[in-house]
Amino acid sequence: MLDIKQIRNQTEQVKAALGRRGDYDLSSLLALDAQQREIEKTRSDLQASSNEVGKSVGQKMRGGADPKSDEIKALKDEGNRLKQEISELEPKERELKVQIESILLTLPNLPSDSTPEGKSEDDNVEVRRWGDELIDADKTCLPHYEIGEKLGIMNFERSVKVAQSRFVTLIGAGAALERALISFMLARHTDAGYTEVLPPILVNSDSMQGSGQLPKFAEDGFKCDRDDLWLTPTAEVPLTNLHREEVLTAEQLPINYCAYTPCFRREAGSYGRDTRGLIRLHQFNKVEMYKFVHPDSSFNELEKLTADAEDVLQQLKLPYRVLELCTGDLGFGATKTYDLEVWLPSAGKYREISSCSNCVDFQGRRANIRFKESGKKGTQYVHTLNGSGLAVGRTMAAILENYQQADGAIAVPEVLQKYMGVDVIK
């Protein structure tokens, strides 16, 4: 969430920054803010006058004034009148604050100064590639979903019977490969200093709002209305809210978490896209990396986070490229994002497998997560970062295609063999 003080005091700068992302009108918000501040000042002045009246009554009574005298009665009447006016202003002020917050919750984060300009994904900037020598331009292979069904390790048709379309059932070596990938990713991240977390899969609306999924992405979520709980769309949600409404110490930072969770998304607005295979499912597994950091180090931490996601792909020997997202393709809560795209031979192109973002104080402000430095007054909002490390289904898809052999077997990446106990899937 953006800082209303920044919007108020640096209006033109905020307008210009939001203008890099799209068309956002701040006039209603600024009008409500001015109205709320005027009422707040009036209420504050009335409260000061009321306090003075009360003080005057007390002084006169201690000086021997008759409690029933006209003077005391007049003062008390004035005090009651002031209290009545204050009581009428308070609900108006609260309602204005609610309206202001409801608008603030819909505004995206401001892009960083270094975020490339652009209107869509076509304007994203390629930063680097890895593993070009592993790409065989002449290789022909079956798409991952076809080879998966041919090997009998995944079934989409029976998943429709159990649930509906855009679900998959993994069988035998398919289930083992998924489990191996999760175990490998968690082991890699914990070795790198992340603390493993197994959070709740159901999260409440406050958690969804704190991380930025609500109100904007409500249509993308699966909600259990009876309990006001949502199936988590990403481990980013519960990890953000582990420290909601807390004041940390500077010495605790950075806090690095990693977590495996199933994730659930309706994929609203994506109908007709990637209807086959593992790329865009309603339920998928993901290992998430998450950081709570000091504001001074957040952009350096983004580079580290991205490197940690890249290392997973490098250890799996999967070719990929890194893109820096432009302003028009930037996620709602992010100020700067790198996307990792893995090579899929059947399509002859790269597909997103991880998104690594610095949200600066956007989530910290929404979830009220602050920290205090010793020897300094007041608190600051933490900066938060998140990144897939990795999307497990998409990683499996990349393995099934990049490691596909001429006879249709799948070679198991060396780093996964100890988890699976085999070096080939036939």
End of a domain among 35, 69, 104?
104
**Over its length of 426 residues, how does the chain's per-residue pLDDT go in tens digits?**
999 999 999 999 999 999 999 999 999 999 999 999 999 999 999 999 999 998 998 888 888 888 888 888 888 899 999 999 999 999 999 999 999 999 999 999 999 999 999 999 999 999 999 999 999 988 899 999 999 999 999 999 999 999 999 999 999 999 999 999 999 999 999 999 999 999 999 999 999 999 999 999 999 999 999 999 999 999 999 999 999 999 999 999 999 999 999 999 998 666 667 779 999 999 999 999 999 999 999 999 999 999 999 999 999 999 999 999 999 999 999 999 999 999 999 999 999 999 999 999 999 999 999 999 999 999 999 999 999 999 999 999 999 999 999 999 999 999 999 999 999 999
Residues 343 and 377 in one domain: yes
From residue 382, alpha-carbon distances to 4, 104, 204 in Å are 17, 19, 22
93 & 125 share domain: no
Count CB-CB contacts under 10 A for residue 181: 27
125, 81: one domain:
no
The answer to whether residue 109 is domain-embedded is no
Residue ranges making up the domain that contains 182 = 121-425
What is the CATH number for 344?
Answer: 3.30.930.10
State whether 130 and 167 are in the same domain: yes
Closest alpha carbon to 190 in 312, 7, 367: 312
- Answer yes or no: do 402 and 377 share one domain: yes
- List the beta strands (DSSP E) in 33-161: 125-130, 154-155
> Does 380 map to a domain?
yes
Residue 387 contacts residue 309 (beta carbons within 8 Å): yes
- What is the number of structural domains in the chain? 2
| 330 and 391 both lie in a single domain | yes
Residue 110, domain member (yes or no)? no
Q: Is 164 inside a domain boundary?
A: yes
Terminal Cα distance for the chain, rounded = 50
Is 338 inside a domain boundary? yes
- Please state the pTM of the whole predicted model: 0.94
Tell me what pLDDT residue 269 has: 63
From residue 194, give the alpha-carbon distance in Å to each of 191, 321, 370. 7, 24, 21
Residues 164 and 87 in one domain: no
Tell me whether residue 20 is in a domain: no
Say yes or no: 140 and 95 in one domain.
no
Q: What per-residue confidence (pLDDT) applies to 271?
A: 63
Please indicate, yes or no, whether residues 205 and 329 belong to a single structural domain of this protein: yes
Q: How far apart are CA 147 and CA 394, in angstroms?
A: 15
Among 49, 74, 104, the domain-final residue is 104
Enter the tokens of residue 328: 């028009």
Q: Is 258 within a domain?
A: yes
Q: Do 254 and 132 share a structural domain?
A: yes
Say whether both 207 and 347 belong to one domain.
Answer: yes
Backbone angles phi, psi at 63, to 5 degrees: -85, 0
Cis-peptide, bond into residue 254, ω within 30° of zero = yes
Task: Tell me if 18 is assigned to some domain.
Answer: no
Known catalytic residues are 265, 280, 352, 355, 394
Last residue of a domain, one of 56, 75, 104: 104
Q: What is the pLDDT of residue 335?
A: 98
Residues 277 and 348 in one domain: yes
